[in-house]
């Protein structure tokens, strides 16, 4: 009985030694490539509106271009365009009236997530017209990545 089990065991291992590497190679050859940017293929719709404010500087040295737009029927919105990958996990964008010492201050308003190099658009709260700060917070690192001042603006003024 033991000899029969040993023979069966040897045959099973021989079959596995041939089938597993072939199956592994076939699965590697047949896999689909992962896109470099998770937002690839997703276009931000072109919304009517005029840029009323360019956000230059700030962002703690991060290469981010920011603009504030206004639409008469919908209020202000923010467009952020990272010029290169931020290389930080789970970056969230907040607007806050007052910037605290660290982290996300109480009363901060979550605008959305920022990842990759795709242009992102976020609706700003009406209170943002009185100024405040835009805050980038890494949820993965549990710390503030950067912040930029948001000057006062009049959302009704269209250039």
Answer yes or no: is 109 within a domain: yes
Answer yes or no: is 105 within a domain: yes
Quote the radius of gyration of the chain (alpha carbons, Å): 26
Task: Check if the beta carbon of residue 109 is closer than 8 Å to that of residue 94.
Answer: yes
pLDDT of residue 43: 45
pLDDT of residue 99: 84
Which residues make beta-bridge pairs with 62?
none
Domain total in the chain: 1
Answer yes or no: is 76 within a domain: yes
pLDDT of residue 58: 67
Distances in whole angstroms, Cα of residue 112 to Cα of each of 21, 68, 88, 120: 44, 15, 15, 9
pLDDT of residue 35: 60
Answer yes or no: is 33 within a domain: no
pLDDT of residue 71: 72
Strands 120-123 and 143-150: unpaired
Sequential DSSP letters for 2-71: HHHHHHHHHHHHHHHHHHHHHHHHHHHHHPPPPPSSTTTTPPPP----EEEEEE-S-GGG--EEEEEEEE
pLDDT of residue 86: 85
Task: Check if the beta carbon of residue 98 is closer than 8 Å to that of residue 144.
Answer: no
- Residues in the chain, pLDDT under 70: 34-50, 57-58, 72, 155-159
**Domain range holding 113?**
50-150
Answer yes or no: is 31 within a domain: no
Q: What CATH number corresponds to the domain at position 73?
A: 2.60.40
Answer yes or no: is 159 within a domain: no
């Amino acid at each position: 009985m033991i000899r029969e089990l040993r023979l069966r065991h040897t045959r099973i291992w021989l079959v596995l030694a041939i089938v597993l590497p072939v199956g592994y190679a076939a699965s590697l050859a047949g896999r689909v490539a992962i896109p470099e940017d998770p937002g690839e293929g997703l276009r931000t719709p072109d919304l009517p509106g005029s840029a009323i404010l360019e956000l230059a500087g700030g962002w703690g040295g991060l290469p981010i271009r920011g603009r504030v737009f206004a639409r008469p029927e919908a209020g202000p919105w923010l467009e952020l365009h990272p010029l290169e990958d931020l290389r930080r996990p789970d970056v969230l964008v907040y607007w806050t009236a007052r910037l605290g010492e660290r982290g996300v201050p109480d009363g901060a308003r979550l605008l959305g997530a920022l990842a990759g190099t795709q242009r992102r658009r976020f609706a700003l709260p009406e209170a943002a017209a009185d100024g405040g700060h835009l805050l980038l917070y890494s949820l993965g690192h549990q710390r503030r990545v950067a912040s930029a001042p948001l000057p006062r603006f009049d959302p009704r003024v269209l250039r």
